[in-house]
Amino acid sequence: MLYEPLTLRCGVTLPNRLALAPMTNQQSLPDGLLGEDELAWLVRRAEGGFGLIETCAAYVGLDGKAWEGELGIDRDEDLPGLKRIADHMHQAGATAMVQLFHGGVRAAQALTGEQVWSASTWQEPAPDFETPRTATEADIERVIAQFAQAAERAEKADFDGIELHGAHGYLLCQFLSATMNPRTDGWGGDLQGRARLIREVARAVRAKVSPKFAVGARLSLEDWGHAKGLDLDESLQVAKWLAEDGCDFIHASLWNADRNTKKQPDAHPLTLARAALPKDVALFTAGSIWTRAEAEAALARGADVVALGRSAILNPEWPKLARDAAWEPRRPPMPRAELIATAVSPKFAGYLTRWKNFVAD
């Protein structure tokens, strides 16, 4: 089944069920335009057989930029570079999507020139934490429009779809959080209020692009890392709502796709998500998937597409090599020179040193 095509309900067809997960890599230019290292990284994985290539998180507004070398999709000057990505992906036989992103409190004033903002103001005990200001109605209206305009740019650049980044504690996830969003103005508080922003964004995006353009959303289903204040049952309800709002797929971001949920220890999140979604809405997943057997187990639990992150870094031809059931993927650590030989730039390799025992220096 891994190597069977999948047609989303909008009509976009993925040539197989293997995706390159969107990952922070810092390989674009300082002004957000496409960098050659970014393109080379994506091309190598497309040529390696991944049926879907998702870009790294691309900021929809400069005030949402969260790291150096982040790809931008916030202005029309980005279009030529974005079109180069889509064209190269298609030439390699892959479907191409952009992950749309706003960092909220995870943005950085040093990059944006503005105080970061979020659903509300709160503190975290981290030395580099920037206290956010509370979003105004104008901020919310502006960011909804920015997501929609970014999706329109992605379609103009000949991408096949977009994914809203509603996971990992970034802006859309911050509004979904019960701990980060106690607003009482209709944009927070109860689940309907907290889900309003991501739902309004999904609707605005769906209205801005053609019916044949894929729209999806990535969600963290439970607390993990910066994603806080999330409840499993609430996340499943949000997934249902997003399907009603026009999403063709939901991407369940699991840090370990082999584990059951914390709230229901006897239940697997993929099984629950698949049961919650309409049959014609695809379920993507990611989470420490290294081997073909692990990927097939995710499909057996209800996923339609498996997105590979760390395993795709070290194994750019994973889809081709995994056709041999006996093949074992390369695992970390990997020497920096070998990483660079897989089209991981020196900048990206430096970033990967933040992951314990991933880079062998």
Tell me which residues are annotated as active site: 170
Pairing mode, strands 13-14 and 6-7: antiparallel
Residue type, 164: L
Q: Which of 217, 290, 293, 288 is nearest to 254 (CA)?
A: 288
